[in-house]
Amino acid sequence: MAISPPPQNAAFIDAWLTDMDGVLVHEEDPIPGAAEFIEALKREGLRFQVLTNNSIYTPRDLRARLLGSGIDVPEDAIWTSALATARFLADQRPDGSAYVIGEAGLTTALYEAGYTMTSRDPDYVVLGETRTYSFEAITRAIRLIEGGARFIATNPDVSGPSPEGKLPATGSVAALITAATGRTPYYVGKPNPLMMRTALNRIEAHSEHTVMIGDRMDTDVISGLEVGMRTILVLTGSTRPDQVEHFPYRPTRIADSIADVVDLVRERAPGPHGAITVNDA
Ligand SMILES: [Mg+2]
């Protein structure tokens, strides 16, 4: 696919962000090339972050799950929508309080950011992913929002994959709460570019020297683009090649899979500031 090359002066790449599901793994199963890609980044001394909108797990959980798939990602190289949400709230309102609907990934992140969990007059209602949405918890969230709590959600995804089929996700439950309260949440995860910016800040990377890899045009590619990164769309996830041209924006490059990206890291990144251009020339 012919795509114009990046500006000459922005040619070198010294940091990488990558989405997790659909790029490195399909749920539990590794995608061929994923382990090699991570090893190549480590060997070349390049900074990187693995991003996920899933707020269920802590980075430690996710590291263990990835390791179970043969992919060795350090805990501090994992950036979840739960961590991004905790970071956002700690910046906005330090030492605040929240009523949380979510799992350990979200509650741990909020505790570590200095937040208190409460169901009485919290600063925020924070909605994340869970597999056990409770009517009682949703009812409480609705009443707290009506009472003045600000409504935050980790990510807007309305559904997620499972071996048995589609599962309702955070965005669907947020829609229920919105219907009941008339209030829409502020979503921190992708496609909010905030998720990318905070990931970049974490590794002190600059967008013009960073590539974002993802399997979705409407989250990974758009938010990478809006932050000023070059983007690679891989076709191992939810996007078919024929769908790409329908979007009003394009990735810098399209790759069949992460296996094709390994060479971009390996061949042309001799050191922390190694030169690498990402284009189809
Ligand atoms: Mg994905």
- Distance (Å) from CA 143 to ligand 1 centroid: 33
What's the pLDDT score for residue 105? 97
In tens, the pLDDT along 202-212 reads 999 999 999 99
Q: How far apart are CA 231 and CA 122, in angstroms?
A: 39
* DSSP assignment string, 118-137: -SSS-SEEEE---S---HHH
Report CA 158 to chain centroid distance, whole Å: 15
What's the pLDDT score for residue 168? 92
- Distance (Å) from CA 30 to ligand 1 centroid: 13
- Asked whether residue 136 carries a pLDDT value surpassing 80, the answer given is yes
In tens, the pLDDT along 150-160 reads 999 999 999 98
In tens, the pLDDT along 82-117 reads 999 999 999 999 999 999 999 999 999 999 999 999
Q: Give the model's confidence band at 165: pLDDT under 50 very low, under 70 low, under 90 confident, else very high.
A: confident
Radius of gyration of the chain (CA): 19
What's the pLDDT score for residue 4? 53
Q: What is the mean pLDDT of residues 166-192?
A: 96
Are residues 279 and 268 in contact, defined by beta-carbon separation less than 8 angstroms?
A: no
Q: What is the mean pLDDT of the chain?
A: 91
- Distance (Å) from CA 92 to ligand 1 centroid: 28
The DSSP output letter for 4 is P
The DSSP output letter for 204 is T
Q: What is the mean pLDDT of residues 256-271?
A: 78
Instruction: Compare 41 and 164 and report the one with higher pLDDT.
Output: 41
- Catalytic-residue membership of 61: no
**Of the residues 14, 19, 157, 220, which is catalytic?**
19
- Catalytic-residue membership of 19: yes
Q: How far is CA 163 from CA 27, 58, 238, in A?
A: 9, 22, 15
- Distance (Å) from CA 20 to ligand 1 centroid: 6
Q: How far apart are CA 171 and CA 108, in angstroms?
A: 21
Q: How far apart are CA 213 and CA 15, in angstroms?
A: 11
- Asked whether residue 193 carries a pLDDT value surpassing 70, the answer given is yes
Q: Name the token pair of 196.
A: 């990318």
In tens, the pLDDT along 3-34 reads 555 444 456 889 999 999 999 999 889 999 99
Q: Name the token pair of 231.
A: 């983007």
- Distance (Å) from CA 22 to ligand 1 centroid: 5
What's the pLDDT score for residue 274? 41
Q: Name the token pair of 65.
A: 């799950």
- Asked whether residue 67 carries a pLDDT value surpassing 60, the answer given is yes
Domains and CATH numbers, the chain: 8-53+190-267 (3.40.50.1000), 84-187 (3.40.50.1000)
Give the 3-state secondary structure of residue 122. coil
